[in-house]
Amino acid sequence: MKRIWLVHSIFLVVFLFIFLLSHSTSFCAQDLSTLFEQMSPGIVTVYSSTQGKKEVSQGSGFFINSQGWVITNHHVVDGSTQIVIITSDNTEYRVNQVLKTDKDKDLALLATTVPREKIFPLPVNPNLPRIGEPIVVIGSPDGYRLSLSDGLVSAIRDLPKYNISRFIQFTAPISGGSSGSPLINYQGEVIGVVKMTVIGEQVQNINFAIPSQHLFELIPELGPYQKQEELIPPSKPVAPIPSPTHPAEDHYAQGLLYLLWGKTDEALVSFLKAIELNPRYPEAF
C-alpha cells in the first residue's frame, strides 16, 4: 500500500512540475509580447547623413519625454548635417536640433518634429540591474525596424578603454544598427542604451550598454524617477543642425536616405530636384 502511495506521489509531483514548467514558459512568452506592445511605440530608427558624403549612418533610439526628445548614440549622429527618424507607425520626421551630446559617454539627445499625440516616452530607471536579470532590446539591427531580442544581464563590467566607469554586459543578440536601442527590464523600464557588440569568430553575445544613470547626467532635468512629461527644456539656447550650403545638397542627402529605405521613386525625385537646382552637381547623376 505504501509503495502504491509513493508511486502516486511521485507521479503527481512529476505531473505538477511539467505543468508548471510548460505554463511558466507560456506566461513568459506572453509577458514578452505584452512588453513589446507597451514599449515599441516609443522606439525609433535613426538615419543620418553628412554634407558631401554618400554614406548614410543608421542606428536606433527612443523617446525620453513628451516633447519628442530622442536618445541615441553620439556615434550614430556625429558630424551629421541631416538626421531623420522613423517612428513605430512607419512615419518619417526630421530632427531639427541636436540638443546635447556626450562623446565620452557616447550619448546624444535629439529634438524632433513628431506631433505630441504620436510621442510615447519610455520610463527610465537609473539603478544598475542585477546580474542574471532578464532584459530585452528593441531596435533596428541592420535596418530591420522594431526587432525584439531577449537575454540576461551577464555582468556589470569596467572597460578601461572607455570613459565610463561601468558597462552593462548582456546576452540579447544585437547587430549593426542596434546602437542607441534601449535596454529594457521586465518592468518596462529603460536601464541602459545599447552601445556595441564584441565581434570575433569565437565570440557570441558579448554586448554592452551604457547604464541609464548617465542619461540623468546628460539631462539633469530628468531627476530621479521624475515623470517624463515633467521634463523642463534646457535653459541654454541650442544650435540647430547646420543646413547644407546649397539646396541641391539637401535634396541629394534626402535621396540617399530614400535609397537606404528602398524608396527608389522618392529617391529619383530628390536626385532630379538636386540636378534641377544645380545642373553641375555631379553626385546626383
Q: Which residues are catalytic?
A: 75, 106, 179
Bridge partners (DSSP) listed for residue 184:
136, 190
Burial 1-15 (b: 16+ CB within 10 A, else e): eeeeeeeeeeeeeee
Q: Alpha-carbon distance 256 to 55, whole Å?
A: 8
Bridge partners (DSSP) listed for residue 148:
138
User: What amino acid is encoded at 198 in this protein?
Assistant: V
The alpha helices in the chain, defined as continuous H runs, are 2-39, 74-77, 213-218, 247-260, 264-277
Classify residue 86 by burial, with Cβ atoms within 10 Å: 0-12, 13-18, 19+.
buried
Provide DSSP, 34-83.
Answer: HHHHHHGGGEEEEEEE-TT---EEEEEEEE-STT-EEEE-HHHHTT-SEE
Closest CA to 110 of 147, 164, 146, 73: 73
Query: What cell does 262 get?
Result: 528602398
SS3 33: helix
